[in-house]
Amino acid sequence: MELFLDTANLTEIRDAAQYGVISGVTTNPSLIAQEKGRDFHEILQEITQLIPGPVSAEVLSTTAAGMYQEATKLAGIRDNIVIKIPMTREGIKCVPLLAKEGIKTNVTLVFSLNQALLAARAGATYVSPFVGRLDDVGHDGISLVREIVEVLRLHNLSTKVIAASIRHPMHVMEAARVGSHIATIPYKVFLQLFEHPMTALGLEKFQKDWEAKLK
Ligand code: E4P
């Protein structure tokens, strides 16, 4: 399973990029809005420079024509831009238009298997089921990821699944176990993946023992 970072914060992206384990970035309007005073296109230019892999940028129009227009502008920023399209009827109309132009898409705000199937049939490159937000309303987000992965495989659909709305390290492990192609994770959760108390204790003991030997 590949790891993407779910943020528009350049400091977080710059730090995470150093480890060589992040292969893409996803943003959304809420994440971009947190970067006060920064221009949307400028932020994307910098992110695409830091991360050579896919960088998702979301459109805000509500019509297929509007989305298409926005998407072609965003796609011109750099060739690793992926256009995030909301899972609406207009959005699904727009996906094949972009696919025809060779523009990659990530269909977002997916909460059901049927929505994922529609996105895949429209030719989406990626589909993003929102795990945490499903859990929030008493559904099982990871089960949806499992179902989508299985059904896309069963019908030879090449759309890749991005487990999104990840809230904690357990979500990352579960997404990997059910075969999600990608998990997009907030920076805070990314840092948590490194940690285990036994690693910290083990290291402390090795250092203490080594110092004792030198005395
Ligand atoms: C996905 O691409 C979205 O940006 C993101 O995962 C949404 O997560 P949230 O539910 O924590 O806002």
pLDDT for 185-206, tens place per residue? 999 999 999 999 999 999 999 9
Distance separating alpha carbons of residues 166 and 157, to the nearest angstrom: 24
CA of 213 to the centre of ligand 1 (A): 50
Among 84, 160, 213, 215, the active-site one is 84
CA of 76 to the centre of ligand 1 (A): 24
Among candidate residues 143, 185, 191, the one with its CA nearest the CA of residue 1 = 185
pLDDT, tens digit (0-9, with 9 covering 90-100), for 80-136: 999 999 999 999 999 999 999 999 999 999 999 999 999 999 999 999 999 999 999
C-alpha dist (Å) from residue 127 to 33, 85, 120, 214: 23, 10, 7, 56
pLDDT, tens digit (0-9, with 9 covering 90-100), for 129-145: 999 999 999 999 999 99
Among candidate residues 130, 153, 154, the one with its CA nearest the CA of residue 142 = 130
Report the predicted TM-score, pTM, of the whole model to 2 decimal places: 0.96
Active site residue 84: yes
CA of 120 to the centre of ligand 1 (A): 20
Mutate to test the pocket of ligand 1, among 59, 106, 165 (most ligand atoms within 8 A of CB): 165
pLDDT of residue 5 exceeding 90, the answer is yes
